[in-house]
Amino acid sequence: MSENPDLTNERASGTFETNAMAAVIYGSEKFAQRRREITEAISKIPEFQDSHPLVFMSREEKISEACRKLAVLSNYWNSLIDTSDEEEALHLYREVLGLEGHPLALHETMFIPSLIAQASDEQQEKWLGRAQRREIIGCYAQTEMGHGTNLRALETTATFDISTREFILNSPTITSLKWWPGALGKSANWSIVIANLIIKEHNYGPHPFMVQLRDEKSHEPLPGITVGDIGPKMAFNGADNGFLGFKNYRIPRENMLMRHSKVTSDGSYIKPPHAKIGYSSMVKVRSRMAMDQGLFLASALVIAVRYSAVRRQGYLEDKSREVKVLDYQTQQHRLFPSIARAYAFIFCGFETIRLYDQLLIDVQNGNTSGMADLHALTSGLKSVVTYQTGEGIEQARMACGGHGYSMASYISEIYGVAIGGCTYEGENMVMLLQLARYLVKSIEMIQNGKSRELGPMVAYLAENESEIDLNLGPNEYLKVFEYAARNQTWRATEKFQKLRNSGMSNEEAWNQASVELTRASRLHTRLYIMSTFINHVGSIVDQKVKGVLIDLLNVHVTYEVMDIGIYVQGLLSSNQMDLIRNQLYVSLETIRPNAVSLVDSFQISDMQLRSVLGRRDGNVYENLFKWAKSSPLNKTDVLPSVTQYLKPMMEKSKL
């Protein structure tokens, strides 16, 4: 069937090449091209297609379908991608397995990265190759039923037995059961387990251990291990998140991951070069999250924008034909700022992934000085990005009206998966407060006359306000944001200090100032996102692409400043606020002809999108009908439940 003419016209009105834009989104022409090649190659392998729509499958079927595809994938892995390239691998996973989770997700995202960052050279020799060849399947078991955020309260113990040179793992209480780890429930046979290291009754706190959970031949749990699936979740139901308990389960001394902390055979403990070095796997995932969430948001927007270009409802001036809903200003206001955010998140994602890779090298060379900065940055970024992604996806769903609520849109699934990110890798509020610690310390440095020692990301906290001329473009909006973030950070810090100086304990003063502190963290992070977006656009060479991204940037900066209006009341007059509001409306109109091309440029395939509404060809209605007819409820005209219950009930009512 040919393309819906409404979408053809939209594409014709685009002022730039989507391949050129994809090269900017994905960091290079080479990677953008590789993505297309991988997608093309996959489309030719019929076994990678869903055997029937995932939304009609039970949880067991989803997990089984994911395993089937993983097994097929193992035959093609080396021919489809450069296996040393993480981004290619993740693209392949997204295409083939989609986003509902699968038994290798944690293997790739946490198990292998933990071995790389935490295992000694000898340990890597023993396990890393096996993991990379997928001879074993691993997971990352840290969270417990009673403890997730506060790692210092974890209860699982690994007690060193000097006589046998083994660690004895125990889960002393019900609350100490590991709870949530992905792939733990049924798939993984090994795990990195985070447990308190106990030597001679001294607790050295949480440390990572390499633990075999299941027999490599029979896959049966090993004696001393209780393991299973935690049940259905809001989304991610293609993954078997699990529980795990230990009863006097022994592992060799060599199974504690010993790149940084060490336990010698006589039970001596060697401290790591940085107290939080064992948290690196979490920083790794957090550093990926802006990119991954940006792609979740992008997926929802591809669906909503394409659908809005074929959905006609109501009239503007021309009463002879209903208009595309994309022509309504309210629809544009609902969707276009999120397009801008998706671009901005992906640009930030590339930056934080690069920073993590550099930090990994630095730490391996003994330099841990960058850890605090990256921890603060990624803590704030994961929190703001996951929250705004959830908001944006929900708006995309509503922008699709009734059909958005149908699983045919697939938006609810994207939403469910994306908002998991508000919780995993550290609940958002808690991570905002981690960043706040860093911001408060920065203010204290300024108060103590040490402004010069501030890092580049917080130097603005020491600056004075300057006059704002909003006709000058994005950099002036950046100054507005700096004003807001600086003011809020000072206010929140001063509140905390005042409470503490009044005699309150440090902890209680912190708690009483914490809402204000999280507000400071959000503003600081949104400033970082804006400045990364501006810098990125500034570096683009292709003038057509750059022109459109400047338009998108204008949507971003005006929308963001309007959104934080309450924090800039002392800086901007109501006339200036009106001016910004009008600039936003003008920017929405400017971006309108490029809206479809901007979402096309994400180059997310129909296979990956799984959305009837978001199809590239725009043939929504006929496929929606086809999709509904394929519902298992439509296999028969009269359901057994009607025969068994409703008919007798109706018959009885007739008497």
Residue 651 tokens, joined: 């018959």
Q: Give the per-residue contact string, 348-387, with ligand LB5YH26S (x = CB under 6 A; - = no).
A: -----------------------xx--x------------
Quick one: which segment of 41-49, 90-98, 134-142, 208-216 binds ligand FAD (CB under 6 A)?
134-142
The reply on whether position 150 binds ligand LB5YH26S by CB under 6 A is yes
State the catalytic residue, choosing from 351, 413, 425, 560. 425
Q: Give the per-residue contact string, 76-115, with ligand FAD (x = CB under 6 A; - = no).
A: ------------------------------x---------
Binding residues for ligand LB5YH26S restricted to 298-317, rule: CB under 6 A: none
Quick one: which segment of 10-18, 276-284, 519-527, 565-573 binds ligand LB5YH26S (CB under 6 A)?
276-284
Question: What is d(CA 455, CA 229) in angstroms, rounded to the nearest whole number?
Answer: 45
Answer yes or no: is 164 a known binding residue. Answer: no
Residue 235 tokens, joined: 């989304």
Q: How wide is the angle at C-alpha 276 spanned by C-alphas 270 and 278, nearest 5°?
A: 70
The reply on whether position 416 binds ligand FAD by CB under 6 A is no
The reply on whether position 434 binds ligand FAD by CB under 6 A is no
Question: What is d(CA 192, CA 618) in angstroms, rounded to the nearest whole number?
Answer: 45
CB 383 within 8 A of CB 595: no
The reply on whether position 148 binds ligand FAD by CB under 6 A is yes
Binding residues for ligand LB5YH26S restricted to 67-126, rule: CB under 6 A: 90, 93-94, 99, 101, 105, 109-110
Question: What is d(CA 277, CA 263) in angstroms, rounded to the nearest whole number?
Answer: 16
Measure Cα distances from 315 to 9, 92, 305 in Å: 19, 43, 19
Residue 119 tokens, joined: 């295992």
Size of the site for ligand LB5YH26S (CB under 6 A): 34
Among the listed residues 141, 258, 458, 523, the single contact to ligand FAD using CB under 6 A: 141
Q: Which of 511, 508, 520 has its CA nearest to residue 441? A: 520
Nearer to ligand LB5YH26S, 148 or 618 (CB): 148
Residue with tokens 């025969």: 643
The reply on whether position 619 binds ligand LB5YH26S by CB under 6 A is no
Among the listed residues 33, 124, 434, 512, the single contact to ligand LB5YH26S using CB under 6 A: 434
Quick one: which segment of 138-146, 242-250, 302-310, 584-592 binds ligand LB5YH26S (CB under 6 A)?
138-146
Measure Cα distances from 409 to 7, 46, 246 in Å: 17, 23, 43
The reply on whether position 430 binds ligand FAD by CB under 6 A is yes
Question: What is d(CA 76, CA 55) in angstroms, rounded to the nearest whole number?
Answer: 26
Q: How far apart are the first and last CA of the chain?
A: 53
Question: What is d(CA 12, CA 34) in angstroms, rounded to the nearest whole number?
Answer: 25
Q: How wide is the angle at C-alpha 141 spanned by C-alphas 153 and 225, nearest 5°?
A: 100
Question: What is d(CA 567, CA 525) in angstroms, rounded to the nearest whole number?
Answer: 15
Question: What is d(CA 126, CA 120) in angstroms, rounded to the nearest whole number?
Answer: 10
Answer yes or no: is 389 a known binding residue. Answer: no
Nearer to ligand LB5YH26S, 282 or 348 (CB): 282
The reply on whether position 352 binds ligand FAD by CB under 6 A is no
- For 279-296, the three-class secondary structure string (H helix, E strand, C coil) is HHHHHHHHHHHHHHHHHH
The yes-or-no answer on residue 425 being catalytic is yes
Nearer to ligand LB5YH26S, 36 or 233 (CB): 233
Among the listed residues 19, 124, 368, 423, the single contact to ligand FAD using CB under 6 A: 423
Query: Please, where are the H alpha helices in 400-513?
Result: 401-405, 411-420, 428-447, 474-501, 506-512
Annotated catalytic residues are 425
Residues engaged in binding ligand FAD (CB under 6 A)? 106, 140-143, 148-149, 180-182, 236, 241, 420, 423-424, 426-427, 429-430, 433
Binding-site residue ranges: 143, 182
Going by the annotation, the residues of the binding site for FAD are 143, 182
